[in-house]
Chains A and B, each alone.
Chain A
Amino acid sequence: MLRPIRAYVRFVDRLNTIVGKFAMLLIFLMMGILLCESISRTFFDTPHIWTMESAQFTMAAYYMLGGGFSLLMRAHVRMDVLYSRWFTKTKAKVDRFTIFFMLFYLGVLLYGGISSASYSLKYGQHNHTAWAPPLAPIKIVMVIGIILMLLQAIATFFKDFAKARGEDLS
């Protein structure tokens, strides 16, 4: 495998590991927001209008930013009726071809994400709720998550390509 490709794979793996380890901790932020709200409502009778959306936004950041890392950790299920019976090399050979279907989906997702985020930025779109937070920031986070997923998918393609030729990239 070419040097730049090796460097790319190593870089993306490390980038997604760092982002993923950060995203992992967002679950505590979610728990914190929800616990604070239930305590403050039950004991102090002061509900807040921002809790539901901020918890929702944290959740979106959690799985969007964690996406690339989850791909790296091989957390995504496949239908393995046939797949599980193949040799590692055969798996890699099939994967390096079928991964383009996934790349296509991620590409369309990214296109829609960029167009939706830039719309929100341009017109200062707000959520139609009492708190009415601006939507652009969370959409930008989601787009970043899709980009990370796309980068990781390309790195996976290189790894499969190498594996199909009997080399090891990871």
Chain B
Amino acid sequence: MSYEMIALMMFLSLVMLLITGQRFFGAVGFVAAASSLLLWGDGGAEMPFNAAIVLLNWYPLLTLPLFIFMGYILSESGIASDLYKMFHVFMGPIPGGLALGTIVLMVAISAMNGLSVAGMAIGSSIALPEMLKRGYDKKMISGVIQAGSSLGIMIPPSIVLVLYGMIARQPVSQLWLAGVFPGLLLAAMFAIYIIVRCKLQPKMGPALPPEERNLPFNEKLKLLGAGIMPLFIVFSVTGLFMMGVTNLVESSAVGAAAAMIAAAIKGRLTRKVMNSALHDTLGVSCMFMWIIMAALSFGAVFDGLGAVNAIKSLFLENWGLSPWGVLIMMQLSYIVMGMFLDDTAMLVIVAPLYIPLIIQLGFNPVWYGVLYTITCQIAYMTPPFGYNLFLMKAMAPKEITLMDIYASIVPFVIVMTTGLGLIMAFPEIATYLPDLYFAG
């Protein structure tokens, strides 16, 4: 059997196993262990544990539990709801103002946090009930929260970009900087869409009645104070890291400590909050780490088979694609796979195949990291099996049906695809900041 056939068999048996609903890490690990035993006999038996040793030596992975812990503490700390109250009063008068406020809130959350799930949880617990109460259209609400939460992995700190950096062997600081403008660009495009849509159809997002927004001046001033704490947290993570005071891993520890301080100041650092944050952090971290461990041995078998070259020859020789054709094929395949897999899974299984090819074709791997994250976000939002769609359904109240959610994301997917196209056409949007910062 040729190597290409073996690689294809591995992939197919993985998909079959996954469909049975067995735990992800078990399915991936089984295919990896079984195929390395079949291919290399006794020597292959050591491979799964070797992957565990590789994992042990991946220093940037330490950011994972720390950022997750930070996210849980932040969402319990009440910082987000204070911020939202501020945006609520200042943006309420505009049609669609609360939706705009939600986008701005998401940008702020993204700058304090590395996962898109956190934004979704905060958005659906804080912003969603408010908008529902004010008679916003259900489709607008669910779309805004999903689109907004996708900014979480673009704006630093971003866990997905840390993982990407490890796989592509690119410096995380450059990747983080590269995510800033594209993230803000998408946020601005979402905002423009909301303004235009609500101007045309005021029913989508009615403006707040004046009695709700006419607060006395010093009340308003007090609300502005809600912005101080987030600034302190953003500075402690991204600021100190970019100034070179802390390294990447240390900055995540500083961030976790800052989040705990902020929660303590607000009097929210109770035993119960702490306990549930610790449990959830352990659960999510273990899930990630065991998947990455299994996927590393899967990747090692693929490497041994020379799968990268097989894909290269398939794309370039058999299908006669140009470099840009290959790039677009890859993005399309992510969108198809994103209907079934989550971002970590795609990153650890598929990206190791694609990234070397991207570098060989002469594309900038930092820029590709940004394209990759946007594409993944689009992929989770595409029906029928987007990961975000189900998460949204699980978090939203009963009156928002899955059909509402499906319908709600269409305009936002169009906006995001346009943004993706812009960044592909003008790579400077992503590369300007890292080039500027690392020019000297």
Chain A partners chain B = yes
Given A27-B281, A76-B290, also A62-B246 (CB < 8 A): no
- Indicate the size class of the contact surface on chain A: 35 or more
Q: Which of B27, B46, B246, B282 has the most CB of A within 10 A?
A: B282
Q: Which of A80-113 touch B at CB < 8 Å? A: 80-84, 86, 91, 94-95, 98-99, 101-102, 104-106, 108-109, 111-113
Find out whether the CB atom of A62 lies under 8 angstroms from the CB atom of B285.
yes
Find out whether the CB atom of A104 lies under 8 angstroms from the CB atom of B24.
no
Task: For B49, give its contact among A35, A69, A81, A112 (CB under 8 Å).
Answer: A112
Judge whether B129 is part of the interface by a CB distance below 8 angstroms.
Answer: no
Task: For A38, give its contact among B24, B30, B253 (CB under 8 Å).
Answer: B253
Interface residues of A (CB under 8 A from B): 20, 23-25, 27, 30-31, 34-35, 37-38, 42, 52, 55-57, 59-60, 62-64, 66-67, 69-70, 73, 75-84, 86, 91, 94-95, 98-99, 101-102, 104-106, 108-109, 111-113, 115-116, 138, 142
Task: For B52, give its contact among A23, A102, A142 (CB under 8 Å).
Answer: A142
Find out whether the CB atom of B245 lies under 8 angstroms from the CB atom of A77.
no
- Closest 3 pairs (CB-CB, A-B): A83-B21, A112-B49, A102-B26
Residues of B within 8 A of A83 (CB): 20-21
Chain A interface main SS type: helix
Find out whether the CB atom of A105 lies under 8 angstroms from the CB atom of B24.
no
Find out whether the CB atom of A35 lies under 8 angstroms from the CB atom of B257.
yes
Residues of A within 8 A of B286 (CB): 63, 66-67, 69-70, 75-76
Chain B interface main SS type: helix
Q: How far is the CB of B25 from chain A (nearest CB, A)?
A: 6
Residues of A within 8 A of B48 (CB): 105, 108-109, 112
**Can you list 12 contacts pairing A with B, beta carbon distance less than 8 Å?**
A30-B66, A31-B253, A59-B62, A62-B285, A63-B289, A69-B286, A70-B282, A76-B24, A101-B30, A102-B30, A112-B50, A113-B52
Find out whether the CB atom of B24 lies under 8 angstroms from the CB atom of A101.
no
Find out whether the CB atom of A79 lies under 8 angstroms from the CB atom of B65.
no
- Taken residue by residue from 6 to 45, chain B's Cβ proximity to chain A (1 for < 8 Å, 0 otherwise) reads as 0000000000011111111111011011100100000001
How many angstroms between the C-alpha atoms of A120 and B34 in the bound complex? 25
Interface residues of B (CB under 8 A from A): 17-27, 29-30, 32-34, 37, 45-50, 52-53, 55-57, 59, 61-62, 65-66, 69, 245-246, 249-250, 252-254, 256-257, 278-279, 281-287, 289-291, 294, 340-342, 385, 390
Task: For B22, give its contact among A56, A78, A138 (CB under 8 Å).
Answer: A78
Q: How far is the CB of B167 from chain A (nearest CB, A)?
A: 18
Find out whether the CB atom of A138 lies under 8 angstroms from the CB atom of B17.
no
Residues of B within 8 A of A35 (CB): 250, 253-254, 257
Chain B residue at smallest Cβ distance from A108: B33
Chain A residue at smallest Cβ distance from B29: A105
Q: Which of A20, A57, A67, A76 has the most CB of B within 10 A?
A: A76
Given A102-B26, A102-B29, A105-B26, also A75-B284 (CB < 8 A): yes
Given A66-B282, A70-B286, A75-B284, also A109-B23 (CB < 8 A): no
Task: For A98, give its contact among B22, B34, B65, B290 (CB under 8 Å).
Answer: B22
Find out whether the CB atom of A94 lies under 8 angstroms from the CB atom of B257.
no
Residues of A within 8 A of B294 (CB): 105
How many angstroms between the C-alpha atoms of A115 and B250 in the bound complex? 34
Residues of A within 8 A of B254 (CB): 34-35, 38
Chain A residue at smallest Cβ distance from B37: A108
Find out whether the CB atom of A79 lies under 8 angstroms from the CB atom of B19.
yes
How many angstroms between the C-alpha atoms of A75 and B286 in the bound complex? 8
Find out whether the CB atom of A116 lies under 8 angstroms from the CB atom of B46.
yes
How many angstroms between the C-alpha atoms of A83 and B23 in the bound complex? 11
Residues of A within 8 A of B256 (CB): 31
